[in-house]
Structure 1
C-alpha cells in the first residue's frame, strides 16, 4: 500500500474530524501520567481502574454531539471495556465507534534530550518501527495518529535552529509514514507556556516553527488535505506579568496561523497547554468570534481541559457524575468552536492545570 492508496480515505477522515462545532478528546495519557491524575482523586493506578475510567469516557451519552474523535493510548486501543459493575464488555474502541467518534492513537514514544541542543531542548522519538505499528493500529480501528514535539522559549536562546529543524523533520517523517498506513497525522509542535516571555515573543517563535514544519511536510510529500494541525494558542509565558485578554490571544493566534498554515489543512485543533478548563473554552471562543468564517475549522484537542472535572466527580466510583462533568465541558468547547460560548454557562472544576515542563 502507498499514500495514494489511502488518499481519499485520509481526506474523508480529516473532514469528519473537522466537523462544525466539534473537536477531539485527548485521552492518550501514558500509564505514569494517568497515575498522577488518579492519585489526585484518590484512585489506585491499576489496569482495571484505567480501563474503567476510559470506559466511562467511551459510554458518555451524547458525547459525539461535540466530540468527533478521541486520541487513545496504546493500552486503551487494545482493551475491552468494563461496565459500571466491573463486568467485561466490548472493546473500548468499538464503544467510541458506536457513538460515531473516530478513534485515534498516540504513536510517539516520548521526548529525549537533544544532543547538540541548548539545555532543556528535546527531540521526539518513535520513528523506528512506526510503519509496522501504524499498520497494526489501523487494523484495530484507529484512523488517525498523534505525535507531540515540544519546544521551549528560554533566556538562553531556545528554541535553537537545531531544535526547530529536528522537531519539524521528525513531525514530517512521522506524518508521511502513518499516511502510508491509512492514518491521518495530527502534527503537534507544542510551545510550552514555561517562562516569562511576552506575547510578541511567542508569536515570532511560533511563526518560525510553523513555517519550518510546513516546509518539512512539503519536502516529505505529506498530503495536507489528509492531515491536521494541533498547535498551542499564541500565549505569553506563564510567568509574564499581566495576563492577555481573550481578544489579544485571538488576534495574535490568528495572525500567526494566517501567516503560516496552508488553507488546504482541514482543521486546526488547539491544545490547551495547561490552561484551566474555562480559560481553554473562553480563548477558543474568542478565536472563533474573531475570524468567521475561517479557512480552516478551528476546533480543539483537549485532554486536561476536558477531563479535570470529570476525574474529580468520578473519583473511582461515580460514573454518572464523571460523565456529566465531561459532557458539560464538551458542550462548552463545542459552542466555543462556533464562537457562541457564554463564559461560565457550563460547570467547571476551575482548578489551574499548568505544570512546568509538562510531559505525558
Structure 2
C-alpha cells in the first residue's frame, strides 16, 4: 500500500508538465533576503510573504507541489486558514524540508555534512499527520583543490539514503538533493566530473538502503562552470553535458528529475531548462522539470518589498515565472511564448 502511495505521489509531482516551488528557506536565509530589500526581518513579515505566495491565483496551473519550511508549515493566513490547507485546496501537493542544514564535517575542515537524522522518524510522522506528502534533504558539495573528498561524498550520500529510507517508511516521497555548488572558479569539465561522481555515489547508497526508486525524485544541479570561471559555456553545451551526466548515473526507474536553480537568475534557469527539454525530452526515461526557489520567487519578492499594496503585482510576477518554467518543461520557452504572455 505504501509502495503504491509513494509511486503515485512521485508521479503526480512531475505530471502535466508542472514543477515544484521551493519556498523552504530557513529563517536566516529568508531574513537575509528581506534585509537586502529593506523588509523587516520578523516572523510576521515572513508569514505575510508566504501568504502572498500560497494565495497567488492560478499558481496550480504550473506548480504541482510546494516545499515548505518548519516555520511555514505551521503558519496560517490572516483569516486563520493553514497554509497546508490553502495549498491542498488549490490542488498543490505540500512538502517539507527536513534537514537542519550543512555543518562542518569533522575530519574534513573545508567540507560540510548535512545534519538532521536524529529524531527524523518522529518529525516525519508529525509532518505526515499535518498533510505533507513529500520531503526534501539537501547535501552541499564544493569543488576545489582536492575537493570533494571521498569521505565527504560517502558521508553525505549515506545521510541522503538514510533520510530517504525514513521518508518512505513514513509514506513520504523523498526528494534527494545532492547539490554541487556553483561557487568558485572551477571549470565546466570539473563540474561534469564531480557531479557524475556524486550521482554515482548517491545511487550506490540508495541501492544499499533499499530505496524504492519509483517512489523518489532527484533534485540535482545542472552542469555549470563556477560563477568565477573565465569561460562560461553556452546554453546548448550545458544542456548536452547535463543530459550526458544524468544518463550515465540516474536509473530509468526514477520518475522525475527536478532541477535546482542553485543561484542562477530566473531567466537563465528557465532558458537552460528549456534547452534540455527542447532537444532531449522525447528520448529520456524521466520527466525533467524544475524545483526552483529563488529563480521563481525573487522577481516577486523584489516587487512586494513587504508592502501589502504590492501583493497583486508580486503575485502576477510569481505566476508569470511559474508559467515560464512550465513552458520550459515543454521546450516551449521561446520568443513566441514570451509574446503570448
Please, what TM-score do these two structures have when normalized by structure 2? Answer: 0.96
**Equivalent residues in 2 for 1:1-360, closer than 5 Å:** 5-82=1-78, 88-117=79-108, 119-155=109-145, 157-293=146-282, 294-316=284-306, 317=308, 318-342=310-334
- RMSD of the alignment, in Å? 1.3
In structure 1, the gaps of 5 or more residues are 83-87, 348-360
The superposition leaves residues 230-269 of structure 1 with CA deviations (integer Å, 9 ceiling, x where unpaired) of 0000111111112111100000000000000001111100
Aligned-pair distance for 1:345? 5.8
Aligned-pair distance for 1:344? 9.6
Higher helix residue share: 2
Aligned-pair distance for 1:310? 0.4
CA–CA distance in structure 1, aligned partners of residues 122 and 153 of structure 2: 27
Q: Which moved more, 1:39-48 or 1:18-27?
A: 39-48
1:81 partner SS: coil
CA–CA distance in structure 1, aligned partners of residues 52 and 193 of structure 2: 41
The superposition leaves residues 38-65 of structure 1 with CA deviations (integer Å, 9 ceiling, x where unpaired) of 1122211212111111111111111011
CA–CA distance in structure 1, aligned partners of residues 272 and 16 of structure 2: 17
Note if contact 1:23-1:334 (Cα within 8 Å) is conserved in structure 2. Answer: yes
1:292 partner SS: helix
CA–CA distance in structure 1, aligned partners of residues 50 and 338 of structure 2: 22
Moved over 3 A (4+): 343-347
The superposition leaves residues 95-132 of structure 1 with CA deviations (integer Å, 9 ceiling, x where unpaired) of 11111100000000111111122x42000100000000
Note if contact 2:10-2:217 (Cα within 8 Å) is conserved in structure 1. Answer: yes
Aligned-pair distance for 1:292? 2.4
2:4 partner SS: helix
Q: Which moved more, 1:274-283 or 1:196-205?
A: 196-205
Note if contact 2:183-2:227 (Cα within 8 Å) is conserved in structure 1. Answer: yes
Aligned-pair distance for 1:290? 1.7
The superposition leaves residues 197-236 of structure 1 with CA deviations (integer Å, 9 ceiling, x where unpaired) of 2111111111111011001000000111000000000111
The superposition leaves residues 145-170 of structure 1 with CA deviations (integer Å, 9 ceiling, x where unpaired) of 00000001102x10000000001000
CA–CA distance in structure 1, aligned partners of residues 184 and 39 of structure 2: 32
The superposition leaves residues 326-346 of structure 1 with CA deviations (integer Å, 9 ceiling, x where unpaired) of 011001000001111015965
Note if contact 1:282-1:343 (Cα within 8 Å) is conserved in structure 2. Answer: no
Note if contact 2:192-2:223 (Cα within 8 Å) is conserved in structure 1. Answer: yes
- Change in Cα spacing, 1:10 to 1:45, as seen in structure 2 (3 Å) is same
1:44 partner SS: coil
Please, what TM-score do these two structures have when normalized by structure 1? Answer: 0.91
CA–CA distance in structure 2, aligned partners of residues 344 and 24 of structure 1: 24
